[in-house]
Amino acid sequence: MDAASPSAAPGTSPSGQTPFRRGLRRLRRNRVAMASWWILVALYAAAVLADALAPYHFDDDRRDLTAHPPTQIHLVDREGRWHWPFVYATRPTLGPYHRRQFIEDRSIRYPLRLLARGQRYRLLGLVSSDRHMIGVEAPARLYLLGADSRGRDLFSRLLYGARVSLSIGLVGVFISFVIGLFVGGLAGYFGGWVDDLLMRVCEMIMMIPSFYLLLALRAAFPPELSSVQVYLLIVIIMAFIGWAGLARVVRGLAFSLREREFIVAARAAGRSHVGIIVSHLLPNTASYAIVAATLSVPGYILGEAALSLLGLGIQDPHASWGNLLSEAMAIAQVRLHPWVLWPGAFIFIAVMAYNFLGDGLRDAFDPRMEAVRR
Amino acid sequence: MTPLLEVDNLHVVFDTDRGAVRAVNGVSFAVQPGETLGLVGESGCGKTMTAQAILRLIPSPPGRIAGGRILFDGEDVLLARPERLRRLRGAAIGMIFQEPLSALNPVLSVGTQLTELLTAHGSVSRTAMRQQALETLSEVGLPDPPALLRAYPHQLSGGMRQRVVIAMAIALRPRLVIADEPTTALDVTVQAQIITLFKQLKARHHMTLLLISHDVGVMVQLADRIAVLYAGHVVEEAPTATLFTAPRHPYTRGLLAAIPARRAPGELPEAIPGAVPDAAQLPSGCPFHPRCPRVLEVCRGTFPEMTVFDPAHRAACYNPEPIVNDVNDVKDGKDG
């Protein structure tokens, strides 16, 4: 780099790059981590753009088409002619053993429309539009992944549900990391009784099995809360549980950092304690913190899913991956309507992607992995 | 003239499992404005602890300042309230550390660390701050300051890092600079450059410097006066030339005899027998007596009072060395 001009001794800087850039380059070479990254980008984009991507609003039900299987998309009509992909309208009938079946009305074709007209929405709260990425004209219905027990499109509900399930992890991790970094930094920097006190508090929180604590805390609040309130409640509860583990590790890092000369130098330069913690101590724990944050997002996604699955989280008609999966709690449902398992697949994909990305980040950025690489 | 810094009977104790470790035992010295005082001694003799005590940087617990006074411009630093202490640090007293790489934060750029220091002591506008940072960097002889502001410590060579550390110490124009082994971690050619830089800074700013080193060669070139420390005591204090020509304490003499450059070609330097005593179990009386070639019975009893040989030359010894006239020593001692 040009900064290391004339008198730079050889060997001081192998690549002439910041550690961050070197880490980023290592990360780019990790295919699994990069694939996970793009999967997550796609999932988050889908959640943000759910209004435009989903064919239907999350609460758009059809009481006659309950538990409709995924709609068949045809290319060839009755006469054997080829067309742009189309669907037929369906109506329920009773089949053998009084099982409900859906019969296609083959007289009229309903072509798949790109940018189809549908319910009006405001994208990102700004742009008003009634165009949906894909759709069919009524009375036909496009159930890409089947319908739920009220005839609502599962695919649309999954996209809307991603907003809750994916954001809860980010918001929760953010809150718990602000607390965890600060508490850990304080304990490690000051040591002594401050350290003792804060660490005993952490241990008390970590001692309690977290899921039961989650249930108990949720039970302490009235059951009839709006979905927004429940969302905030879940985030706060999970962040409250989640900061302790991080605080302990950061405290350990801070403990070794505070003996380093640059911390003493910062004190000698008249920096305040809080200034030193925020601008010298914590940035040096950043590589660990980013990795730990990524690896702890799945916990929040699973926690929300578990609460909502048990009916303590996000309430119908609002969707989250957890409460969508609650339809799959009865084994008979799964046998008759296997598509109700789709939310589980999405949870699985998101959790695995976070884990692989977190592993990749650790390999690329954690300085303690340096020895392993060489 | 009133001294800028006066350390009076300073005691620093570390409370450990093995008992109280007395790192500094009644050190006294004074630094006049514009003067460079060298603190010299072997490793573990209390040099660094004395320096850190001046800014109250002793890690506590386990360390504590057990007694004494530290007067900076007449104000007792040991009684300063936290806010006042923060003002003294950096703004009034700058400190340069031994290991330039570890004294810089590895994850922050040079510019961030420098400007942060400036903001910590009074709010300055961004442009003024940048200007001041650039000026300070070029003042310590660093090439291409604008590019340097964006550089990270690991991208710089050892000498450049030490210049950055010095820049940070002098950025706020402190009235006193404490340099703790500023050249020890550098190779010899870079050492010479840094010594030259200190000379320039001293000449330009009338800088008052408390220089700490075990390297007598560095002392000869920079210090006006030298205080020799042994086991937490000042054993001898004299102007640099006097100390080299006429050392009165046997330990000082031993220290000078151990400098290779002061010996005739082919002659080996003379080592002082034995080792620095364990600060947890100091010998009674004069702590040097077990290693001293001129030991008397009285040395085992109590620590000797300072004997004043002439107003600027003092030594704590019951049986001081006789004066020898060897004027050549000063010149030869330069590269020790």
Beta carbons of B160 and A7 less than 8 Å apart:
yes
pLDDT along chain B (336 residues), means of 10: 85 83 86 90 82 84 83 86 85 85 84 83 77 86 86 85 88 88 82 87 87 87 90 89 86 83 74 78 83 83 84 85 59 42
* pLDDT at B327 (0 to 100): 47
Q: Tokens 């990795």 sit at which residue?
A: A291
Strand order through the sheet with A74-76 = A74-76, A82-94, A100-111
> With helix as H, strand as E and coil as C, how does chain A read?
CCCCCCCCCCCCCCCCCCHHHHHHHHHHHCHHHHHHHHHHHHHHHHHHCHHHHCCCCCCCCCHHHCCCCCCCCEEECCCCCEEEEEEEEEEEEECHHHCEEEEEEEEEEEECEEEEEEEEEEECCCEEEEEEEEECCCCCCCCCCCECCCCCEHHHHHHHHHHHHHHHHHHHHHHHHHHHHHHHHHHHHHCHHHHHHHHHHHHHHHHCCHHHHHHHHHHCCCCCCCHHHHHHHHHHHHHHHHHHHHHHHHHHHHHHHCCCHHHHHHHHCCCCHHHHHHHHHHHHHHHHHHHHHHHHHHHHHHHHHHHHHCCCCCCCCCCCHHHHHHHHHCHHHHHHCHHHHHHHHHHHHHHHHHHHHHHHHHHHHCHHHHHHHC
* pLDDT at A4 (0 to 100): 39
User: Which ipTM did the prediction report?
Assistant: 0.76
Which residue of chain B is at minimal alpha-carbon distance from A268? B89
Beta carbons of B165 and A265 less than 8 Å apart:
yes
Enumerate the domain spans of chain A. Answer: 19-24+30-48+157-373, 53-152
Beta carbons of A3 and B151 less than 8 Å apart:
yes
A117 forms beta bridges with A131
Query: Is A280 in CB contact (< 8 Å) with chain B?
Result: yes
Beta carbons of A262 and B104 less than 8 Å apart:
yes
Query: Is A38 in CB contact (< 8 Å) with chain B?
Result: no
Beta carbons of B157 and A7 less than 8 Å apart:
yes
CA B111 vs CA A129, B78, B123, B135, B152: distances in Å: 48, 32, 16, 12, 9
* pLDDT at B198 (0 to 100): 87
Inform me whether the pLDDT recorded for A296 exceeds 50: yes
Beta carbons of B120 and A18 less than 8 Å apart:
no
Report the alpha-carbon distance of residue B124 to residue B132 in Å, rounded: 10
Average pLDDT over all residues of chain A: 83
Q: Which of A1, A5, A268 sits opposite B143 (nearest CB)?
A: A5
Which three-class secondary structure state does DSSP give residue B126? helix
Q: How far is A218 from chain B (nearest CA, A)?
A: 41
Inform me whether the pLDDT recorded for A1 exceeds 60: no
Q: How far is A15 from chain B (nearest CA, A)?
A: 9
Inform me whether the pLDDT recorded for A197 exceeds 80: yes
Strand order through the sheet with B225-230 = B93-96, B176-180, B208-213, B36-40, B225-230, B233-239, B313-315, B307-310
Of the candidates B7, B25, B11, B15, the one whose C-alpha atom is nearest the C-alpha of residue B67 is B11
Query: Is A370 in CB contact (< 8 Å) with chain B?
Result: no
pLDDT in tens, A90-132: 888 887 887 788 888 888 888 888 888 888 888 877 888 888 8
Report the alpha-carbon distance of residue A272 to residue A279 in Å, rounded: 10
Quick one: average pLDDT of A275-298?
Answer: 85
Report the alpha-carbon distance of residue B57 to residue A354 in Å, rounded: 43
List % helix, strand, coil for chain B (3-state, nearest 5). Answer: 40, 25, 40
B310 forms beta bridges with B313
Beta carbons of A268 and B89 less than 8 Å apart:
yes
Q: Which of residues 114-173 of B touch A (CB under 8 A)?
A: 116-117, 120-121, 143-144, 147-148, 150-152, 154-160, 165, 168-169
Give the pLDDT band of residue A354 (cuts 50, 70, 90): very high
* pLDDT at A200 (0 to 100): 92
Report the alpha-carbon distance of residue A152 to residue A145 in Å, rounded: 11
Beta carbons of B103 and A267 less than 8 Å apart:
no
* pLDDT at A368 (0 to 100): 57
Quick one: average pLDDT of A8-25?
Answer: 58
Inform me whether the pLDDT recorded for A49 exceeds 60: yes
Segments in B28-123 forming alpha helices (H): 47-54, 82-87, 110-120
The continuous run of DSSP H or E covering B257 comes out as helix B250-257
Report the alpha-carbon distance of residue B240 to residue B224 in Å, rounded: 6
Tell how far CA B229 is from the center of its chain.
11
Which residue of chain B is at minimal alpha-carbon distance from A11? B157
Mutate to test the interface with B, among A193, A257, A264 (most CBs of B within 10 A): A264
Inform me whether the pLDDT recorded for A5 exceeds 60: no
Count other Cβ atoms within 10 Å, centred on residue A146. 18
Q: Which of A7, A19, A262 sits opposite B105 (nearest CB)?
A: A262
Q: Yes or no: is domain A19-24+30-48+157-373 CATH 1.20.1630.10?
A: no
Which residue of chain A is at minimal alpha-carbon distance from B61? A192
Q: How far is A185 from chain B (nearest CA, A)?
A: 16
Instruction: Tell me the two tokens of residue A281.
Output: 């101590």
Q: Which of residues 38-77 of B touch A (CB under 8 A)?
A: 52, 55, 57, 59, 61
Count other Cβ atoms within 10 Å, centred on residue B162. 29
Share of chain A above pLDDT 70, in %: 93
- CB–CB of B329/B245 below 8 Å? yes
A172-184 CB burial, b ≥16 within 10 A, e <16: bbebbbebbbbbb
